[in-house]
């Protein structure tokens, strides 16, 4: 894979390789971060942090253990989730007030991402999950909720949520598997 080759060169301090890697992954990184964090300015901050971290820590990538793109997106997701959680913790009071006032605390505004083939494909596969599998997976991955919060929101026992998450991911694998 292109990203793997580039990331290895980046680890050796190759600036040209980093520019190429940037061109390749900045869209996926920024888009994912923005999907989770939502606020554009904060998304940009987190994306910048992640992209710089790729440069600093490229040597930590071990090609024997997965693809570079997965590694990069896993990192981006983790940083985005951490950011959105600390923002939520800070804004908890405002949220409670917003709830009392009857306005939704988080609006699930559809993202204006260009509809690409991949997007359609993921949506199609998500549609094939059961409602609880889908909700469990997407509340966690796209909205950054912990499985405890997911359980609370869906009024499900913790064990059920954990199982739905695993089943959901496994079914996604079967559905999306061929496209990589």
Out of 7, 37, 140, 156, point to the residue binding another protein (CB under 8 A). 140
As a whole number of angstroms, the distance between CA 158 and CA 148 comes to 6
Residue 7: closest CA among 25, 31, 32:
25
Looking at the Cβ atoms of 102 and 108, the one nearer to another protein is 108
111 in the Ramachandran plot: left (φ > 0), alpha (ψ -120 to 50) or beta? beta
Any contact of residue 58 with another protein (CB under 8 A)?
A: yes
Pick from 127, 134, 142: which is nearest to 168 by CA? 134
Is 22 a binder of another protein (CB under 8 A)?
yes
Using CB under 8 A, pick the residue from 3, 7, 38, 79 that binds another protein: 79
Q: Look-up: residue for tokens 């949520």?
A: 161
* Closest distance to another protein from the beta carbon of 90 (Å): 4
**Residue linked to tokens 């390749």:** 24
Q: Which is nearer to another protein, 86 or 102 (CB)?
A: 86
Q: Kindly identify the residues of this chain, within the stretch 80-119, that bind another protein according to CB under 8 A.
A: 81, 86, 89-90, 111, 113-114, 116, 118-119
CA 71 – CA 42 distance, rounded (Å): 22
User: What residues between 27 and 56 interact with another protein by CB under 8 A?
Assistant: 27-32, 34-35, 44-45, 47-49, 51-53, 55-56
Distances (CA, A) of 90 to 21, 68, 87, 129: 34, 33, 5, 34
Q: Is 134 in the site for another protein (CB under 8 A)?
A: no
Nearer to another protein by Cβ, of 102 and 157: the residue is: 157
Contacts to another protein from residues 147-166, by CB under 8 A: 147-148, 150, 159, 161-163, 165-166
Under DSSP, the state recorded for 13 is T
Nearest to another protein of 98, 162 (CB atom)? 162
């Amino acid at each position: 894979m292109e990203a793997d080759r580039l990331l290895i060169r980046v680890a050796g301090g190759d600036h040209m390789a980093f520019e190429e890697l940037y061109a390749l992954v900045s869209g996926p990184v920024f888009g994912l971060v923005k999907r989770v964090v939502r606020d554009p300015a904060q998304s940009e901050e987190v994306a910048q942090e992640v992209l710089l971290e790729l440069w600093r820590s490229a040597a930590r990538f071990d090609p024997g253990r997965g693809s570079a793109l997965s590694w990069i997106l896993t990192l981006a997701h983790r940083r985005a989730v951490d950011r959105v959680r600390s923002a939520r913790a800070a804004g908890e009071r405002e949220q409670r007030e917003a709830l009392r006032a009857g306005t939704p605390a988080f609006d699930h505004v559809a993202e204006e991402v260009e509809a690409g083939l991949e997007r359609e494909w993921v949506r199609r596969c998500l549609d094939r999950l059961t409602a609880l599998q889908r909700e469990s997976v997407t509340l966690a991955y796209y909205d950054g909720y912990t499985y405890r919060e997911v359980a609370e929101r869906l009024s499900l026992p913790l064990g059920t949520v954990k199982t739905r998450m695993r089943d959901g991911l496994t079914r996604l694998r079967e559905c999306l598997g061929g496209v990589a």
